[in-house]
A and B are shown apart, each in its own frame.
Chain A
Amino acid sequence: MYLFVVRRLLMSIPTLIIVAVMIFCLVRALPGDAAIMMLGGNIDDEATLEMMRQQLGLDQPLPVQFVAWLRELFSGNLGISVLTGQPVGALLLDRFSVTATVVLLAMASALIVSVPLGLLAAHRHNSRTDYAIVVLTILKLSMPSFWVGLMLLVLFGAILGWLPTVGFVSLSQDFGLGVTYLILPVTSLALSEIAVMTRMMRAGSLEVMNRDYITHARAKGLPERQVLWRHVFPNAFAPTLTMVGIAMAGLLAGAAVTETVFTLPGLGKLLVDSIYGRDYPVLQGALLFIALIYVVTNLLIDIAYTFFDPKVRLT
């Protein structure tokens, strides 16, 4: 496994270089002048604009800007945010820690709920329980996440007054208080994932339940619970795991909507702000970081396959 991990990481280097080139080109292709955004939209003064372009290095030809960025990148320096003056590397890690906390808790919660729910729905296929689960998941999938988040805020923040509606306290800062700030965003994200994963788990389980080895397990008199957990679950979970990997990478790359609704200082919010503010160093750094997240997440999912599917070998 060690060799596999090292090889995969080495293989990701050319991928990241190609991504870096694409990121630089795409970011520079964005319409709009970063210097104008830096000046808060004040473009009455061409001399000031020119001064700002010089400060940002935007007066240089694109190849020169690219080489300068790459040189800094290889020396481990992602640059300085032109919006806030903070080092981009530190900024990304700070924001990623917020996103990762919310996403990992949400995914864990979603798995805990959706796996048994999907198995149950499959086990009671075409029963009222199955219909109820299917209808509820479709209902949730039909709701925009922005609206669900807002409704959670209104209910638990404004009406019941149980949980805070704005702000963020990290767990390391104050664990107890931090938990209260995490409950709503984690719930909001988890609800979305529960809907998707439950349907995935249900479909996978239904397919597995029709296999001969399940009929055989039942015929030899195994209790239904054992049939479900020992035989159906491991075989049905592999496709769900793929889904988990894709969803996890996507969410770690920034759950921008959730972060905006719950005023979380996460990676997604940072990315959106950097696009609107034309904060090139942050935008480029964040996109590269997101590419890295996808590489690492996919690697971890590939490793996780070996635990659920004995046919998979890491070579």
Chain B
Amino acid sequence: MKKNTRIFATLFAATVIGCAPAGAVMAQSVVHMALNADIRGTNPGVTRDGNTDIIHAQFVEGLVTYGKNFEVIPMLADSYDVSEDGLTYTFKLRHGVKFHNGEEMTAKEVEWSWNRLAGEASESHCKNYFNGENGLKVVSAKAIDDYTFEIKLDRPYAVFLATIARFDCGSMGVLHPDSVNADGSWNAPIGTGPYVMGEHLPGRYVELNRFADYVSRDEPMNGLGGGKHAEVDTLHFDIVSEGAVAKTALMAGDLDLVALDAMAASELKDQPGFKVDITQSAVWDTYLLNPNDPVLADVRIRQAMAHAIDPNQIMAAITEGFGKASPSPVPPMSKNFTEVEAEYPAYDVELAKTLMKEAGYNGEEIKILATRRNGAYYERALMAQAMLMDAGFNATLEVVEWGTQLEAYRTGEGYTMQSFSFSPRLHAGLSFEMFTGDDVRKAWQDPEAIALVQESLTTRDPERLQAIIDELSRRFNEQVPAIGLGHRMLFTGMSDRIEGFEDWGAGVLRGWMLRTSN
């Protein structure tokens, strides 16, 4: 609602009911945005989900973070060294970094923060990445002096820095110990980020206020790192679960910046007064094939399915022509994405039919599982079903609620193929690891592929890593454990008074880049 009409409406309402007018005082420099669900809390790395991580990223920072091309870069660390044997990481901290309570950050707070998340008493799921549960064990993590922090590992681990930069762990965020109460319970975040956690009215809105004493890095902005020069005083997030409502609110002027679907973006992009940002993310949209389903035991059936589905048509349809197929699990913006990763099984219905015949396919059911969740899971499944049926497969579609689909994924039961997505994995080895392994839920259970993935996570030689990723890509296309579709397109609509916004592959909002023209 426009400001003058909002005041009019308020005055009108107040007059009608015979009360003194209560005008809405709009703060200057506020950007109103929408979250499609409320945040789960303010405790980085503990209370989390996708939306919550976005809010946390505005007020908490870690020693390292992700750059634009998913490279790991220093954030609160000024620099870091890795010992020859790959077991000791030494972080030199930046001087003069201020917490939101005005105190200066030292290695003492870094050590406290590490133990908060990775220590034995931690309630964070992140501790399991460092306590040996998943292989890697951090032997020690301690402050050497005021500005030096050292972590020792029990084994070389190539993705260690990428692991501590994880969004879901709040980048192993550094907080002031006063963030918790005397009994150790959570109070409120006192971080070092460019925004301070403001008011959170559950179910209604979340507000973040600019941290005036934020000390920025000198470099240009880079991904979640580099220089951060926040100008907007308040970032206000309304909880708006329906995309159509968010779009209406944007058009009404009540919201300044919202995530859109492809159709809404297409409608809005040429309308005066609005801008639309279209960015390819690292979210991998795919069709997972169930390795436990006997129908798919013959590789020729899986290959036939891959040749029967045209990712280009589907991507064009679900993105209104803005996106194109990128079936490799490795996102195109990764430095490990080469012409090898650009290859994928060609759309060839005749070849699919030949392979089906050779494999002796006899009309066995191909049960596709999908959900109506945001992300075109259902639309992708529907189109794949039509294409599979066109090639002669007996494809059926079952639509379930997201929790039910996740349960099917976890147990490896109740589906032949499912329309699925994986959140961004910012290391090429992890892009394969997410669906490779011997657990029932993993689509790719080939022992050689598993060994290659494990090696990709330990090697520190960039050439060897590329060779492994290329080999995995070739095997992926031959063995077809999943049928890749593309990396999701992100559509953001905004008022033309918003400047500076630029999305990136990880899709995590960077509030500090926003500017308002009035």
Tell me the A residues contacting B by CB distance below 8 Å.
Answer: 30-33, 36-37, 39-48, 51-52, 55, 83-86, 91, 95, 150, 153-154, 157-158, 160-168, 174-177, 179-180, 183, 260-263, 265, 269-270, 273, 276, 278
Contacting pair B245 A161 (CB below 8 A): no
Is B391 part of the contact surface with A, judged by Cβ < 8 Å?
no
- Residue from A47, A91, A165, A265 within 8 A of B248 (CB atoms): A165
Contacting pair B403 A276 (CB below 8 A): yes
Residue of A nearest to B251 (CB): A158
Bound-complex Cα distance A168 to B38 (A): 14
- Residue from A39, A166, A262, A276 within 8 A of B254 (CB atoms): A166
B residues within 8 A CB of A261?
A: 242, 245
Q: A157-B249, A165-B252, A269-B203 are in contact. List 20 more A-B contacts (CB 8 A).
A: A31-B404, A31-B407, A36-B406, A40-B48, A42-B125, A43-B406, A83-B38, A84-B41, A153-B245, A157-B254, A164-B1, A164-B252, A165-B1, A166-B249, A176-B21, A177-B24, A179-B13, A260-B245, A265-B201, A265-B203
From known contacts A42-B168, A153-B248, A162-B5, infer whether A176 and B128 are also in contact, taking CB-CB under 8 Å.
no
Bound-complex Cα distance A273 to B241 (A): 10
A residues within 8 A CB of B48?
A: 40
- Residue from A33, A175, A273 within 8 A of B410 (CB atoms): A33
Contacting pair A85 B41 (CB below 8 A): yes
A selection of 9 A-B contacts at a CB cut-off of 8 Å is: A43-B441, A46-B439, A150-B248, A153-B245, A165-B248, A166-B246, A176-B22, A265-B204, A269-B241
Contacting pair A32 B403 (CB below 8 A): yes
A residues within 8 A CB of B14?
A: 175-176, 179
A residues within 8 A CB of B239?
A: 263, 265
B residues within 8 A CB of A51?
A: 125, 128
Bound-complex Cα distance A36 to B248 (A): 33
Contacting pair A33 B10 (CB below 8 A): no
Contacting pair B409 A43 (CB below 8 A): yes
Is B337 part of the contact surface with A, judged by Cβ < 8 Å?
no
Chain B interface residue bracket vs A: 35 or more
A residues within 8 A CB of B242?
A: 260-261
Contacting pair A158 B252 (CB below 8 A): yes
Contacting pair A163 B9 (CB below 8 A): yes
Query: Least Cβ distance of B432 to chain A in Å?
Result: 13
Contacting pair A33 B128 (CB below 8 A): no
A residues within 8 A CB of B168?
A: 40, 42
A residues within 8 A CB of B128?
A: 45, 47-48, 51
Which residues of B389-408 are within 8 A (CB) of A? 400-404, 406-407
Bound-complex Cα distance A33 to B409 (A): 11
B residues within 8 A CB of A162?
A: 1, 5, 8-9
Bound-complex Cα distance A91 to B38 (A): 14
Contacting pair A164 B6 (CB below 8 A): yes
Q: How many residue pairs between the two chains, A and B, have CB atoms under 8 Å in the bound complex?
A: 171
Question: Which one of B16, B41, B48, B239 has the greatest number of beta carbons of chain A within 10 Å?
Answer: B239
From known contacts A167-B205, A168-B204, A260-B242, infer whether A175 and B134 are also in contact, taking CB-CB under 8 Å.
no
Contacting pair B125 A176 (CB below 8 A): no
A residues within 8 A CB of B52?
A: 40
B residues within 8 A CB of A153?
A: 245, 248-249, 252
Q: Mark B1-20, 1 if CB is under 8 A from A, else 0.
A: 11001101111011011011
Contacting pair B403 A278 (CB below 8 A): yes
A residues within 8 A CB of B233?
A: none
Residue of A nearest to B186 (CB): A85
A residues within 8 A CB of B10?
A: 176-177, 180
Contacting pair A165 B245 (CB below 8 A): yes
From known contacts A164-B6, A278-B403, infer whether A45 and B252 are also in contact, taking CB-CB under 8 Å.
no
From known contacts A162-B8, A176-B10, infer whether A157 and B403 are also in contact, taking CB-CB under 8 Å.
no
Is B240 part of the contact surface with A, judged by Cβ < 8 Å?
yes
- Residue from A84, A157, A174 within 8 A of B202 (CB atoms): A84
- Residue from B1, B40, B50, B434 within 8 A of A84 (CB atoms): B40
A residues within 8 A CB of B251?
A: 154, 158
Contacting pair A40 B49 (CB below 8 A): yes
Tell me the B residues contacting A by CB distance below 8 Å.
Answer: 1-2, 5-6, 8-11, 13-14, 16-17, 19-22, 24, 34, 37-38, 40-41, 47-50, 52, 123, 125, 128-129, 133-134, 168, 201-205, 238-242, 244-246, 248-249, 251-255, 400-404, 406-407, 409-410, 434, 439, 441
Contacting pair A37 B249 (CB below 8 A): no
Contacting pair B244 A150 (CB below 8 A): yes
Contacting pair B34 A166 (CB below 8 A): yes
Contacting pair B240 A263 (CB below 8 A): yes
B residues within 8 A CB of A48?
A: 125, 128, 133
Bound-complex Cα distance A50 to B255 (A): 40
Bound-complex Cα distance A158 to B125 (A): 43
A residues within 8 A CB of B253?
A: 161
Bound-complex Cα distance A284 to B8 (A): 43
Bound-complex Cα distance A276 to B404 (A): 10
Bound-complex Cα distance A276 to B245 (A): 20
Contacting pair A32 B252 (CB below 8 A): no
Bound-complex Cα distance A91 to B203 (A): 10
Residue of A nearest to B244 (CB): A150
Contacting pair A180 B9 (CB below 8 A): yes
A residues within 8 A CB of B401?
A: 31-32, 276
Bound-complex Cα distance A270 to B403 (A): 17
Question: Which one of B21, B241, B252, B254 has the greatest number of beta carbons of chain A within 10 Å?
Answer: B252
Contacting pair B22 A44 (CB below 8 A): no
Contacting pair B50 A40 (CB below 8 A): yes
Bound-complex Cα distance A11 to B374 (A): 45
B residues within 8 A CB of A174?
A: 22
Query: Least Cβ distance of B238 to chain A in Å?
Result: 5
Bound-complex Cα distance A37 to B202 (A): 19
Contacting pair B133 A47 (CB below 8 A): yes
Bound-complex Cα distance A36 to B441 (A): 13
A residues within 8 A CB of B40?
A: 83-84
Query: Least Cβ distance of A70 to chain B in Å?
Result: 25
Question: Which one of A30, A31, A36, A270 has the greatest number of beta carbons of chain B within 10 Å?
Answer: A31
Question: Which one of A41, A42, A262 has the greatest number of beta carbons of chain B within 10 Å?
Answer: A41
Bound-complex Cα distance A36 to B401 (A): 14
Residue of A nearest to B439 (CB): A46
A residues within 8 A CB of B1?
A: 157, 161-165
Bound-complex Cα distance A165 to B406 (A): 34
- Residue from B22, B125, B205, B245 within 8 A of A177 (CB atoms): B22
From known contacts A43-B409, A161-B252, infer whether A180 and B245 are also in contact, taking CB-CB under 8 Å.
no
Query: Least Cβ distance of A89 to chain B in Å?
Result: 14
6 nearest A-B residue pairs (beta carbon): A32-B403, A265-B203, A40-B49, A176-B14, A48-B125, A179-B13
From known contacts A161-B2, A276-B402, infer whether A95 and B133 are also in contact, taking CB-CB under 8 Å.
no
B residues within 8 A CB of A263?
A: 238-241, 245
Bound-complex Cα distance A269 to B50 (A): 20
Contacting pair A33 B403 (CB below 8 A): yes
Query: Least Cβ distance of B364 to chain A in Å?
Result: 25
Bound-complex Cα distance A278 to B49 (A): 14
B residues within 8 A CB of A86?
A: 202
Bound-complex Cα distance A255 to B13 (A): 24
Residue of A nearest to B42 (CB): A85
- Residue from B16, B38, B402, B434 within 8 A of A44 (CB atoms): B434
